[in-house]
Every structure is written in structure tokens, then in C-alpha cells.
Structure 1
Amino acid sequence: MLNAFADPIIPIFAVLVLGYVLARSGAMEIAQASAINRFVFYLAAPALVFSVIASAPTSGIDWAVVRLYFACEVIVYTIIFCVARFGFSRPLGEAILLGMAAGFSNHIFFVLPISTELYGPDAALPFSGIVIGDAIIFCSTVFLVELFGTGAANPARALRSLSRNPFVYAPVLGVAAWNLPNLVPSGIHTFTHFAGAAAAPTSLFALGIVLAAAPLNRLGTMMWILVGTKLALQPTLFKLGQQVVTSEGLSALIPFLIAAGPCGAMPFVIATQYNVQSETIAKAILISTLLSVLSLAVLT
């Protein structure tokens, strides 16, 4: 546990902390984090998603485990949406994104680099199936926020917005590249691997800058419910499901670590893009990341 805590968990988490410290000292500003996030959103993250899927031996993915993870994610998403909307009377768009924040792990930017450092490149295999499932969650959430969260329900506009989202295409192209390897030039893989390698550190650094602006004096009950559901209920549901879905090795361990990981940054990105209240989401990302530094050290 101590070895995993010292390396790689703390060094990777330190990138986020550095962004936070530099922002608090005035060396970095929110506008600069926004520019970094655009780079991550439009290039680095889609390239990483493509690279993870295209280079994975998809035939070796345990799809039963992926389905179990997806089911747990949808359950947690639905619970927090209902709590936020009907228990705390949050606006519809915010409730949708709070649900996504509860179910959507920071797997690509946080759990993946930790897992590959600890267990080697084979740890990336279970990620590819989960990334495909999360692409469905991501696109569905963007569509729902566009449709219901902006005050003007317009399906055509929502679909047009979705068509401009690079995350719609990255997993599809990754699957196509894996199934048709002879048609994909090696330079494409070099490009996506090179660009994708920047996704995790730049995203964590930008997230640290953004979180520095979030007031932490009042965390709020809704935030704690969200964090508790993400870090406790989701991995518990997955562990219970594994009593039925038999798996072993990294196929069992890695999805469990993802389920126990912190809230992902993408709900915050969507919130800022659509002018949805994001304070609770930002606080949940920060607190869940801080707590998961300890929990992942124990689990690994």
C-alpha cells in the first residue's frame, strides 16, 4: 500500500495540486485553464480514447464485466439525479450533471496512469470496453443537457451539437481501427499516442487551476451525498455484482478500481460549456479525488 501511495498515486496527484497552488498564488488563471481544457477536449482526450481502444486486443475484453460496470454506473447516475432533482430541487440540467458526476469516474486521466504504472500495459485492456460504455453515457448526457437543461427543448439543435463533439467519434473510430488494422497508417497511431499522452497531465493540471476558484468553506449536503455514492456505493454495487459475474485477474481488479475512482472531470466541462451551475460538481471532483488518493492506495 505504501509503495503504491508513494509511487505512482502521489506523483500523479501532485500534478493537480501544482495547478491548484499556482492558481492560488496568482501564477495561473481560470482563462488559461479554459484554454488547456479546450486542447484536452478537442485533441488530447479523444486521441487517448482512440489510442486505448485501437491498440487493445478487443477480443480479450470481458464484456460481462463491462456490462456489470455499466449497470452500476447507470444505477448510481439515476439515484443521484433523483436525489438532486426531487430531494434538493436542483435545476434539471444541474441534476443531470450531478448524476453523471456520481457515476462517471476519472478513469482515463487518473486511474489509467496509476494502473499502467502498477500493473503494466495489460492494465489498459479493461479500460477500452469501459470507455466505449462511457462514451454512451457522455453522449446521452450532452444530449439531455442540450435538450432539457438549457430551457429550450430542441432535438434538432441537440443532435447538431452532439455531431460536433469529438468524443462521439473517438471510440467509434477506435473500434474501426482495431477491426481494420491494415487500413490504418502507422502514423495515425503515432499521432494519437503522442497527442493522447498529454491528456492526463494537462487535464489534471487544468482541473487544479479550476478547483482553486471553488469556495470550500461550505461543501454542502448534496456534495457529500454525491461523493459518498461515488466512492462507497458504486464500488460496493460492482463488488456485489461480481458474485454473479465471474472474473479474475486484471479483468476483475481494474474495473473495480475504476468504480472506486474519483468523480470525472467531464461533467464539469459540460457544465461550463452549457452555463449550468457547477459549484457542487467542482467541489465533488476535488473532495472525491483527495479521498480516492487514500482509498486507491489501500485497494491497490
Structure 2
Amino acid sequence: MHALHPLLSGFAPIWALTGVGYLVGRSGLLGPQAEAVLSRFVFHVAMPAALFLMIARTPLERFANASMLAFAAGTAFATGLGLLAGQFLFHRKPGELAIGGMAAGYVNSANLGIPVAMQVLGDASFVAAVVLLQILFVTPAVLAVLDGRGAGLRALLTLPLRNPILLATALGAVASATGLHLPAELNHSCELLGGAGVPTALVALGISLHNRPPADAGSRRAEVGLTVLVKTLVQPLAAYAVAAFVLHLPPHQLLTVVLFSALPTAQNVYVYSREYGQGTSLARDAVLWSTLVSMATLSVISWSLGSA
């Protein structure tokens, strides 16, 4: 029961805001284009503001440590399995492959990782390193595929100028490296915009649940099930293997790495899929089901490794 309270406190806002979105969709309060408009607001306005501030305020060298190496190994393994499954088992197109790989390995590090880390570990400092890894390395690779304008040098160099997420990431990295600070008024404006990102994304996710098209009888359910299995079980096991048997991390660092690796799929994956129209149903269902399943897996990890 030790792990139950922190998990419930972290998960409750996710379910509540998703439920609000479902009721909004069911009532038709915001009209038929509500999901699309809210998702575009998150992608083009709120999320870039939040990412810029988070990266600008975090030293870039923070992710260069043994714990992050173990976490990155688990992320790479899970993402690779998601890509292989999409390619050889479900025969998905490149954009869908990118979303499938992201859904299998991209963790909900901020709005769920922070409360769980604070109450299970007593320290949420690892969150910043995880966010940096995912935003600086995983996200650009996925968005480069989703952009769909070729892999030439010009396309790759101009991608940040065409994508608000990558532009905010690049500007945040420059600000972090140079020690640049925004004026207080502009900084506060970015904080307000960024703070709207997570709740708006969850409301949009909830709206998408209303009148969603039925999943394909076989392949779609199997793909969602396999993605959730990789995300909630395989990724933390892979991170554990690297952290315990290769890097020989001490118990507290081992718990930190495995706990963060077991976090469910981030709602960012759904936002990206909705923006580019690729793998939307997979992303939506992976976020929902991995969030539900992770309540059990996170409890087991907290109990077993926390006791050790």
C-alpha cells in the first residue's frame, strides 16, 4: 500500500481531465472541430513555450551520467521493438512506424513523473534529465520522419524553422548554453502558455474518445496490446538489466531508472500523431491503456526495488 497513495495522486488529474474532455466531446459544447483546434493549440503554442522554458532553465550536461545511460538504453530498446513490430508484424507506413516506436518508448516524464518521483523517491531532479533526452534526441528524430519532406540536407537543416517544437527546443538549448534569461514579463507569459499545454492535451485526448471509430478486429488491438506491453514491462526490464548488470548502479539510482522507464506513454505522442495525421488511434489507445496498466507496474517496482 506504500506506493498506492503517490500513484493515485499522480494519476488522478490525468483521468479527471481526460474525463472532462470526453464529456465536452459528448455534449458537443465546443463544436465538431474542438479536438483538432485544441491539438493544434498545444502543438503550435503551449508546448513550444513549455519546452523552451524547461530546456533554457536546465544545464545541458545534466543528462550525462550513468543513470541516464541506463534509461537511454531502455528507451532505445523499447523504441526499436516498437519500430520492428510496426514494420514486420503490422506493415505500417513510415509515419505510423515513427508514432508506434514513440508510443513504445516515450515516457510521461513531467506531469506524471514529477508527482510519482517526489513521493516515491523524495526527489524529482531526474525528471529534467529525462525530458532533455527525449526532447533533444527522440523528438527531433520522430518529427523528421513525420515531416515527410525528404531526408535531404536542406530539409533537415530547415526542419526546426518549420516545426515549432523543434524551434523551441533549439532556442532553449541556445539559452541554456549561453545563460540567456528572458525579461520577467516575457518569462511569465511563457509560463502561462506552457502551463496550458498538459491540461489542454488531456482534454483533447478525452474528446477523441467520443465516437471514436472501432479498432480493426485483429491487427489494431494486437498492435495496441503489444505497444503497451513493451512500454510498461519490456522497457523497465531492459533498463533494469543495463543498470543492475552492466553499470552496477546503487539501489536508489536503480529504483530511479526503472521507475522512470516504467512510466506510461506521454500524451505528447498523441499530440504529434494528431498534428500529422499518422497513427492517431494507436497513440490515443497506447496513452490510455499504458496509463492504466502502469498503475500496477509502478506499484510493483516501487514495492520491490524500494524495499531493497
> What interval of TM-score do these two structures reach, taking the shorter chain for normalisation?
0.7 to 0.9
Secondary structure at the aligned position of 1:52 is classed as helix
What is the CA–CA distance in structure 1 between the aligned matches of 2:114 and 2:214, rounded to whole Å?
A: 28
Partner of 1:225: 226
* Aligned amino acid, residue 133 of structure 1: L
TM-score by length of 1: 0.82
Deviation of the 1:67 alpha carbon:
2.6
Question: 1:182 deviation in Å?
Answer: 6.1
The equivalent of 1:208 in structure 2 is 206
Deviation at 1:233, TM superposition (A): 0.2
1:164 paired residue number: 162
Q: How many residues align?
A: 294
Partner of 1:126: 126
Q: Which amino acid aligns with 2:98?
A: I
SS at match of 2:265: coil
Q: TM-score under structure 2 normalisation?
A: 0.80
Structure 2: stretches of 5+ with no match in the other structure: 303-308
Q: In structure 1, what is the equivalent of residue 90 of structure 2? A: 88
CA shift for structure 1 position 107? 2.0
* Counterpart selection for 1:99 from 98, 101, 126: 101
Q: Cα–Cα, structure 1 residues 182 and 290, in superposed 2: closer, same or farther, change >3 Å?
A: closer
Asked if 1:74 corresponds to 2:76, the answer is: yes
Task: State whether residues 98 and 146 of structure 2, in contact with CA within 8 Å, keep that contact through their aligned partners in structure 1.
Answer: yes
In the alignment, which residue of structure 2 is the partner of 1:191?
Answer: 189
Once the two structures are overlaid, the 10-residue window that deviates more, 126-135 or 105-114, is 105-114
Superposition deviation, residue 237 in structure 1: 0.8
Does the CA contact (< 8 Å) of 1:230 and 1:263 recur in 2?
yes
- 2: CA distance, partners of 1:131 / 1:258: 11
Q: Secondary structure at the match of 2:49?
A: helix
Q: Which sits farther off after the overlay, 169-178 or 92-101?
A: 169-178
183-192 vs 132-141, which moves further: 183-192
> Paired residue for 1:259?
261
In the TM superposition, residue 184 of structure 1 has moved relative to its aligned partner by 4.0
Output the aligned Cα RMSD: 3.0
Q: Distance in 2 between matches of 1:215 and 1:250?
A: 44
- The residue aligned with 2:305 is none
More deviation, 165-174/180-189:
180-189
Q: Take 1:220 and 1:13, find their aligned partners in 2: how far apart are those partners?
A: 22
Letter in 1 for 2:163: N
Distance 1:274 1:259 in 2: 26
Q: Summarize deviations over 1:138-197 as a string: whole Å, max 9, x none.
A: 1111212334xxxx7463446544422222233333344344446543444433333222
User: Following the alignment from structure 1 to structure 2, what is the Cα–Cα distance between the partners of residues 249 and 56?
Assistant: 26
